[in-house]
Structure 1
Amino acid sequence: MTSIEPITLTGKFVTLEPLSQEHHDGLVDAARDGDLWKLWYTSVPTPEGMAAEIDRRLDLQAKGSMVPFATRSNATGNLIGMTTYMNIDAVTPRLEIGSTWNAASAHGTGTNPDSKLLLLRHAFETLGCPAVEFRTHWLNQQSRDAIARLGAKQDGVLRNHSRSADGALRDTVVFSILEHEWPAVRNGLEFRLAKYGA
C-alpha cells in the first residue's frame, strides 16, 4: 500500500465523507451542539477556528499522514462531527483512528460505534492493516472507557508526550487492536449496534 485514498464509507447510522471546506458550516453547527470546544481534555475546534482546522487536516492529507472525514447522520442528513485516519504508516501498513469528535446530541445514539465499525473494517479488510491504534489524554476517562469498550487493549502511557492547547503537558494513553483480534471486535460492535434498532 503506497497511500490511503479518500473514500466515502456508509454504515447503519452514519456516512463518513471525505472532508472538504464545503462541510464548514455544518461542522460549526455540530461543534456548537454542546459547546464542545470548551471541554479542556479534548481538541474540538471553535466555530471561529473550524476553517483553519479543516485546512490543517487537508494539509496533512496532502502530505500523506492523514485521511480526514466529516461524519453525517443518516437519520437527519446533518453533519455531527469529524474523525480521521492519522499517523499513517503506509509501509507496514498501520494507522491511528483519532481526532474524533461528535455533537453532544449524537452521544449515545450509536453513531460513534457505527463510525468505528466502518473505519476498522476498511482498515483491516481493505487496507490490510496488521494493527490499528487509538490514543487519548490520560485524564479523558470517557474516551479511555469508550476505546476499551471497542475491545482495544492498552499498550501503554506516553508520559509528558505532547502539549495541550493551553500549553500543559499531557500524558497520552495508547491502545491498539491487532488483526487477529478484529473478528471479535467486529462482532462486539455489530452486537452493540443491533441494540439501537433500525
Structure 2
Amino acid sequence: MSTPYAATPVLANDRVRLVALAPEHAEELATAVAEHELWRTWYTRIPSPDGMPAEIERRRALQDAGRMAAWAVIDPSSGRAVGMTTYMNLDPDNRRLEIGSTWLGVSAQGTGINPAAKLLLLERAFEELGCVAVEFRTHWHNHQSRAAIARLGAKQDGVLRNHTVMPDGTLRDTVVFSVIEGEWPAVRSGLEHRLRIR
C-alpha cells in the first residue's frame, strides 16, 4: 500500500543530503560502518560491512510495502554516503511516524550532519506530511543516542521495559522520545540556531 509517508524525495541543506537508499550506496556505507568496527556496537543494530547489501534490500522491501521510507545520508563535502536513516512505524491514520534505524559512520559523528538531517526529516514530517507527533526510540544503554535525541529538543515519553530481544539474547529497554506538533516551531528554531543554516 503506497503512502506519502513512505516516499523518499531528496532532502538537502548546507550540511547534509538525504537521498533514496539504493544498492549503489552499499560500498560507501560498508566503508563507513567498518571504521572503528561501528557495526560491533552491542546495544544497537548496525549492519556489518558484509551485510550491507542485504540491509539495503531489507529496507527497500519495507519501503515497497509502504512500511518505511529509507534514505542514505550523504556528506555533501565528499559526496559519499556516510550513514542511513528512515521513517518507520508509519501511522498515517494517526498522523504519526518514527525517525529511526539511523546510524552514521564515526567520522561523520559530531560534524553537524545528524542534527541537520533531523531538521530536514522533522520539517518534512510536520510541514509536508502534517504529522501531529514524531517519535524517536533508542536502547537504554545507548547514552550517546539518548543525549543526541534530547539535544534535538525531543522530550522523553517513557521507557518500555524488556521491550525487544537483541541478537545477542539480551533484553532491550527502549527509551521513547517525541516531538509533538505544538513543540515543532521551538524545536525548529533551536536546530536552526544550532546549525546556523538560515
TM-score over 0.5 for the alignment? yes
Counterpart of 2:138 in structure 1: which amino acid? T
The residue aligned with 1:56 is: 58
CA-CA distance at 1:46 after TM superposition? 0.3
The residue aligned with 1:143 is: 145
1:20 aligns with one of 14, 22, 26: 22
- Looking at structure 2, the residues matched to 84 and 167 of structure 1 have their Cα atoms a distance apart, in angstroms, of 25
Contact 1:34 1:105 in 2 (8 A): no
The residue aligned with 1:79 is: 81
The residue aligned with 1:65 is: 67
Between the aligned residues of both structures, percent identity stands at 58
The residue aligned with 1:127 is: 129
- Looking at structure 2, the residues matched to 92 and 190 of structure 1 have their Cα atoms a distance apart, in angstroms, of 28
How many aligned residue pairs are there?
Answer: 196
- Looking at structure 2, the residues matched to 78 and 21 of structure 1 have their Cα atoms a distance apart, in angstroms, of 14
Contact 2:97 2:133 in 1 (8 A): yes
- Looking at structure 1, the residues matched to 3 and 54 of structure 2 have their Cα atoms a distance apart, in angstroms, of 28
Q: TM-score when scaled to structure 2?
A: 0.95
Task: Tell which deviates more after alignment, 50-59 or 120-129.
Answer: 50-59
- Looking at structure 2, the residues matched to 44 and 34 of structure 1 have their Cα atoms a distance apart, in angstroms, of 13
Unaligned segments of structure 1, at least 5 residues: none
CA-CA distance at 1:3 after TM superposition? 3.4
Q: TM-score when scaled to structure 1?
A: 0.95
Structure number with higher helix proportion: 2
Correspondence 1:99-114 to 2 at 5 A: 99-114=101-116
Contact 1:10 1:118 in 2 (8 A): yes
1:8 aligns with one of 10, 31, 46: 10
CA-CA distance at 1:169 after TM superposition? 1.0
CA-CA distance at 1:2 after TM superposition? 4.0
CA-to-aligned-CA distance 1:111-159 (integer Å, 9 cap, x gap): 0000000000000000000000000001111111111111111111111
RMSD (Å), alpha carbons: 1.5
